[in-house]
Amino acid sequence: MEFQHISVLLNETIEGLNIKPDGIYVDGTAGGAGHSTQVAMRLDAQKGGRLIAIDKDPDAIQTATERLSPYPAAQVVRGDFKDIPQILDSLGIDKVDGIMLDLGVSSRQLDTAERGFSYHYDSKLDMRMSQHGLSAYDVVNTYSKEDLIRILRDYGEEKFAPRIAAAIVQARQEHPIQTTFELVDLIKQALPAAAKRGKGHPAKQTFQAIRIEVNHELDYLKECIDGSFERLNSGGRFCIITFHSLEDRIVKQMFASYTVGCTCPPEFPVCVCGKKPRAKLVCRKPIEPSQQEVEQNNRSRSAKLRVLERL
């Protein structure tokens, strides 16, 4: 199956990166190489321009390698975006001029039934972006009721988390919950009738929560921002596309923390802390897709792009 993924906020991200032909850039979520290709096209390898395209999904690595092969400035590396500093060290790169992340699950991952990401296809519970390690099956069948409630509340913002967790624990006492549709049926049975008539699929928040837990998405995002910001040159840009409020809140708060200067009490006549802003927000508010883009790609509807520039 060909890796199909429509790049969200493509032009806005490329503009946000402010690409220089001789610059060094990192795409921490290469996926189908949509953003990476546009970056690579603008680089001059003879002048030192480089693109490091990273992904932990082996399917994405294969696709990105094929699609970026015409561009001498591009190099594809299998790894996690949280490890960007270590990957740069291994390549002998100290500082870069731009880093981008397109978070969340790709269209290819959602539409490949056997990957177990989607509640629209019946398949084995999986949801592993890296295709190894902890799976959705493990979470659903081994986590305690209390831990299930915690992840459904914290990562899915699911207000019926206790009811869904209780239904899962009760059902797995008879036999393991094997498939996505088995889990969907349990969720539907656990929800009150009014909730099932609400906007969106009744399993959406639960599937989101389990996927985030399986892939450590929020913890790894914080780790990535912390470590990768230090590798930006002065004037370097950090562009991150998020798809739900939990991710966006982390990016917003962490980006804002780099823009804070003096923290002395207001009554101090002069600054004694010596703290200065380390970055500036390129846009005060997140960039969202146009109505035309949403009509062409409904999955872009919730996307938000935030851009930070290191001082």
Q: Are 250 and 107 in contact (CB under 8 A)?
A: no
- Amino acid (one-letter) located at 167: A
Q: What is the pTM of this model?
A: 0.92
Torsion of CA 206, 208, 210, 211, to 10 degrees: 160
For the record, the structure tokens of 94 come out as: 């100290």
> Rounded to an integer, what distance in angstroms lies between the CA atom of residue 163 and that of residue 19?
49
Residues with pLDDT less than 70, the chain? 1-5
**Helix or strand (DSSP H, E) at 20:** none
Give the pLDDT of residue 214.
96
> Rounded to an integer, what distance in angstroms lies between the CA atom of residue 107 and that of residue 120?
13
User: Based on C-alpha coordinates, what's the Rg of the chain?
Assistant: 21
Best CA proximity match to 81, nearest among 97, 104, 64, 63: 104
Q: Which residue has the tokens 């349990």?
A: 186
Give the pLDDT of residue 116.
80
Give the pLDDT of residue 5.
61
Tens digits of residue pLDDT in 52-89: 999 999 999 999 999 999 999 999 999 999 999 999 99
Q: Are 254 and 111 in contact (CB under 8 A)?
A: no
Best CA proximity match to 85, nearest among 221, 278, 231: 231
Reduce the DSSP state of residue 161 to 3 states and report it.
helix
DSSP annotation of 200? S
Reduce the DSSP state of residue 9 to 3 states and report it.
coil
Q: Are 33 and 106 in contact (CB under 8 A)?
A: no
Q: Are 105 and 211 in contact (CB under 8 A)?
A: yes
Tens digits of residue pLDDT in 270-282: 888 888 999 999 9
